[in-house]
């Protein structure tokens, strides 16, 4: 197939930039399928890396198989049985020299297929081993009949991300053709030698060949664990590409102008004088850091991270005061309605005495109320608080000067950009402040938030008492109920939190209603309240208010109370099904107690048996109250995806890098990234295009 002339000339300078369709055997149909995988050019194939490997370089004796692991076995068919138990199935028993039996089980099969398994036939199979009714089995293994000696694979088998209409085999063939066009090391390498050499990493060319086609003598264990030098070289480069792309995003945002918001000392003082507390030193410091940014014409890009209860809201309010003083609007966006409502409540309490109107805009605000809110924002109302409803089309600000996003880990960069694009008008963009309650481990912050400056609230307001945490099996529920009775009789208050993994408001609400009914029966005479996400905002508020004022002693709630709720007299919290929640969420919930001077307790009620991971989570919570320690542990146990939220994971979508495993590379990534951007911006751009492709366009935003 002849390539177009212009493609040829590009290919002459950089063969990686040639369209994938210039490869032999890649016609228009296949090119279209490849595009679904984000593959357009030859280099996209070079960097389409295996997700994992299958080890077919050896045969495992059946006796040595381990449930939960994948393996290749070879054996002779002993017995074949087709049957119908619940659904049709085919069972083939094979045995080998280790004289053990393995059952191959198929649920989808054709009659012909069943007939080919005659006793005596020799099979080679690859699959995941699990416990069956009669010993170990493989369900739907890959298999082939052997006639004569067939050598095992010489190398690990790479498994690539594929798509419908393109299987492993065929994709492997296309990648082989692309690899044949890999230029020499000098042409391939984009990072200047003097930057990469001191790191002692493997050359890029060897690394690519090594991960796509591991040689027979490759360190199999290292490859399977992602710790092979070839993978490390690529992980470094991938992290570098992401880092550079975030840095460029930052640079391009900072090329925009923002309104200078120096604020007003008098207004600020009136606000502080009216607060029922004085700022902690950390709050004062972080507010100063933000104030400095806000006074400039360059848009602020700042992340404020602080543990649960460290007082981020008042820092946000202080930033908003700058915009207010200078006639600009502030939009505060929270991920859930309840959290947004809490902010609304705080901001109204603080701002209305100063004559500053706070507009509410959430999904539930509809019809005439919505129209009125929109009109106010378009007319320049100073503060808007709400959920993602603030970002929707039709929401226009007259002159937005500051956006505040709470709980960043539940939004992504895109959301922040959308809100920014609500613009300050006349070519200006608003300043951005991001608040996160999940303290982010430093290495993770380096990779995920390279576009933001970070301020840390590393101090809690005075008067908090550490929470004692205990884990108790659900079978001892009665004792826990008794504990509540005693505590409430002493005038203390308690939370009972119902949790479900399902992200369904309805199911959560039902669970809470059931628990509420049970507790009302078990604790007659006790004033019990109920709050969940399906209740009307007014009823919710009323239930919260009753609890705040001590008219109810026990509050049964869903995880809606995870954020914002503040009742210092509440000193006992019971969390049901604690084993189902992640560390960060448990820590957030627990942060609702320990706010007064009485010693508080958190009871983690769990369903036995506990999985290993769940046990570790509960143990971590028992041992520490420190949000940073918990976040580090969370990262180790769950990986970065869950910590940052699914949206962000998709955005980060690493191919080889793992920001936990490869955290040690980050300081070098940062160093090389800075140097490359400064000295070789063109190479930096080519590097991000190589790794991030279409997503790199983001960086031009």
Q: Using CB under 6 A, pick the residue from 306, 335, 594, 640 that binds ligand ADP.
A: 306
Instruction: Please report how many Cα atoms fall inside a 13 Å half-sphere around the Cα of residue 39, on the Cβ side.
Output: 29
Instruction: Give Cα 418 to chain centroid, integer Å.
Output: 19
335 makes contact with ligand ADP (CB under 6 A)? no
Q: Using CB under 6 A, pick the residue from 43, 231, 313, 432 that binds ligand ADP.
A: 313
* Nearest of 93, 73, 70 to residue 83 by alpha carbon: 93
Residue 50 or 311: the one with the smaller Cβ distance to ligand ADP is 311
Q: Using CB under 6 A, pick the residue from 283, 329, 403, 688 that binds ligand ADP.
A: 283
Does residue 485 contact residue 685 with C-beta atoms inside 8 Å?
A: no
281 makes contact with ligand ADP (CB under 6 A)? no
Q: Minimum Å distance from CB 462 to ligand ADP?
A: 6
Contact set for ligand ADP, span 202-241 (CB under 6 A): none
Residue 38 or 461: the one with the smaller Cβ distance to ligand ADP is 461
Give residues with Cβ within 8 angstroms of 393, minimum separation 6: none
Which stretch in 307-315, 368-376, 665-673, 681-689 sits in contact with ligand ADP by CB under 6 A?
Answer: 307-315
Which stretch in 304-312, 351-359, 523-531, 679-687 sits in contact with ligand ADP by CB under 6 A?
Answer: 304-312
Q: Minimum Å distance from CB 35 to ligand ADP?
A: 44
3-state SS, residue 404: strand
Does residue 362 contact residue 303 with C-beta atoms inside 8 Å?
A: no
Nearest residue to ligand ADP, using CB?
A: 311
Q: Residue count at the site for ligand ADP (CB under 6 A)?
A: 15
Q: Using CB under 6 A, pick the residue from 272, 279, 417, 668 that binds ligand ADP.
A: 279
Residue 113 or 269: the one with the smaller Cβ distance to ligand ADP is 269
List phi, psi (to 5°) of 96: -135, -170
Q: Using CB under 6 A, pick the residue from 418, 453, 458, 566 that binds ligand ADP.
A: 566
Q: Using CB under 6 A, pick the residue from 299, 311, 594, 640 that binds ligand ADP.
A: 311
Which stretch in 189-197, 262-270, 273-281, 486-494 sits in contact with ligand ADP by CB under 6 A?
Answer: 273-281
Strand 358-361's sheet: what is its strand order?
A: 358-361, 383-386, 329-333, 400-406, 431-436, 301-306, 453-457
Rounded Cα gap, residues 61 and 81, in angstroms: 23
132 makes contact with ligand ADP (CB under 6 A)? no
437 makes contact with ligand ADP (CB under 6 A)? yes
Q: Minimum Å distance from CB 359 to ligand ADP?
A: 21
Q: Minimum Å distance from CB 366 to ligand ADP?
A: 28
Q: SS3 sequence, 16-69?
A: HHCEHHHCCCCCHHHHHHHHHCCCCEHHHHHCCCCCEEECCCCCCCHHHCCCCC
309 makes contact with ligand ADP (CB under 6 A)? yes
Give residues with Cβ within 8 angstroms of 413, minimum separation 6: 249, 451, 648, 651, 698
Contact set for ligand ADP, span 461-490 (CB under 6 A): 461
Q: Minimum Å distance from CB 437 to ligand ADP?
A: 6
Residue 19 or 309: the one with the smaller Cβ distance to ligand ADP is 309
Rounded Cα gap, residues 689 and 699, in angstroms: 10
DSSP letter at 560?
Answer: G
Omega into 107 within 30° of 0, i.e. cis?
no
Residue 83 or 462: the one with the smaller Cβ distance to ligand ADP is 462
Rounded Cα gap, residues 458 and 626, in angstroms: 10
Residue 536, burial from CB neighbour count under 10 angstroms (0-12, 13-18, 19+): exposed
Rounded Cα gap, residues 156 and 665, in angstroms: 26
Residues that bind ligand ADP (CB under 6 A): 277, 279-280, 283, 306, 308-314, 437, 461, 566
């Amino acid at each position: 197939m002849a390539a177009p002339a212009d493609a040829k000339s590009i290919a002459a300078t950089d063969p990686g930039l040639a369209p994938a369709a210039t490869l032999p055997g890649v016609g228009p149909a296949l090119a279209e399928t490849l595009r679904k995988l984000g593959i357009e050019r030859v280099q996209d194939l070079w960097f389409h890396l295996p997700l994992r490997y299958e080890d077919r370089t050896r045969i495992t004796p059946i006796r040595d198989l381990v449930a939960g692991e994948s393996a290749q076995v070879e054996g002779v068919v002993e017995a074949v049985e087709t049957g119908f138990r619940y659904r049709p199935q085919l069972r083939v028993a094979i045995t080998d020299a280790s004289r053990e039996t393995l059952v191959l089980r198929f649920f989808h099969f054709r009659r012909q297929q069943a007939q080919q398994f005659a006793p005596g036939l020799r099979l080679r199979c690859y699959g995941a081993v699990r416990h069956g009714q009669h010993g170990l089995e493989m369900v739907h293994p890959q298999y082939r009949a052997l006639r004569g000696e067939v050598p095992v694979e010489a190398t690990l088998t790479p498994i690539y991300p594929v798509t419908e209409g393109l299987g492993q085999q065929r994709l492997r063939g296309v990648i082989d053709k692309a690899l044949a066009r890999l230029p020499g090391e000098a042409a391939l390498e984009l990072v200047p030698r003097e930057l990469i050499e001191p790191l002692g990493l493997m050359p890029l060319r060897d690394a690519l060949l090594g991960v796509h086609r591991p040689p027979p003598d490759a360190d199999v264990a290292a490859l399977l664990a992602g710790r092979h030098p070839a993978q490390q070289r690529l992980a470094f480069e991938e992290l570098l590409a992401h880092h550079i792309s975030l840095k460029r995003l930052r640079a391009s945002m900072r090329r925009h102008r923002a309104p200078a918001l120096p604020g007003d000392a008098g207004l600020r003082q009136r606000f502080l004088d009216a607060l029922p507390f004085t700022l902690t030193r950390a709050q004062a410091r972080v507010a100063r850091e933000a104030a400095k940014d806000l006074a400039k014409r360059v848009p602020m890009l700042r992340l404020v991270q602080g543990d649960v209860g460290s007082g981020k809201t008042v820092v946000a309010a202080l930033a908003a005061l700058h915009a207010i003083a200078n006639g600009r609007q502030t939009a505060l966006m929270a991920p859930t309605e309840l959290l947004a409502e809490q902010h609304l409540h705080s901001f109204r309490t603080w701002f209305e005495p100063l004559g500053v109107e706070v507009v509410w805009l959430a999904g539930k605000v509809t019809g005439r109320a919505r129209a009125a809110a929109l009109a106010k924002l378009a007319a320049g109302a100073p503060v808007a608080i709400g959920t993602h409803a603030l970002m929707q089309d039709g929401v226009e600000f007259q002159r937005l000067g500051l956006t505040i996003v709470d709980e960043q880990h539940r939004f992504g960069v895109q959301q922040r950009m959308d809100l920014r694009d609500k613009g300050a008008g006349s070519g200006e963009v608003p300043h951005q402040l991001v608040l996160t309650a999940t303290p982010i481990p430093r290495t993770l912050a380096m990779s995920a938030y390279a576009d933001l400056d970070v301020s840390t609230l590393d101090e809690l307001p005075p008067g908090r008492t550490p929470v004692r945490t205990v884990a108790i099996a659900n079978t001892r529920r009665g004792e826990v109920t008794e504990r509540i009775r005693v505590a409430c009789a002493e005038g203390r208050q308690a939370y009972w939190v119902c949790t479900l993994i399902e992200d369904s408001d309805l199911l959560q609400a039902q669970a809470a209603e059931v628990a509420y009914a049970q507790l009302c029966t078990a604790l007659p005479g006790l004033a019990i309240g109920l709050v969940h996400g399906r209740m009307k905002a007014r009823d919710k508020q009323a239930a919260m208010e009753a609890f705040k004022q001590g008219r109810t002693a026990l509050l049964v709630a869903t995880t809606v109370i995870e954020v914002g709720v503040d009742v210092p007299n509440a000193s006992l919290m019971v969390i049901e099904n604690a084993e189902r929640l992640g560390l960060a969420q448990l820590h957030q919930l627990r942060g609702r107690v320990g706010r007064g001077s009485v010693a508080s307790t958190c009871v983690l009620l769990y369903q036995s048996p506990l999985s290993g991971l769940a046990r570790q989570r509960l143990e971590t919570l028992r041992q520490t109250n420190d949000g940073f320690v918990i976040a580090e542990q969370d990262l180790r146990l769950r990986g970065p995806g869950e910590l940052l939220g699914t949206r962000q994971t998709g955005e980060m979508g690493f191919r080889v890098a793992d920001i936990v495993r490869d955290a040690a590379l980050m300081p070098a990534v940062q160093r090389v990234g800075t140097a490359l951007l400064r000295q070789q911006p063109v190479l930096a751009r080519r590097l991000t295009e190589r790794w991030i492709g279409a997503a790199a366009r983001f960086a031009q935003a």
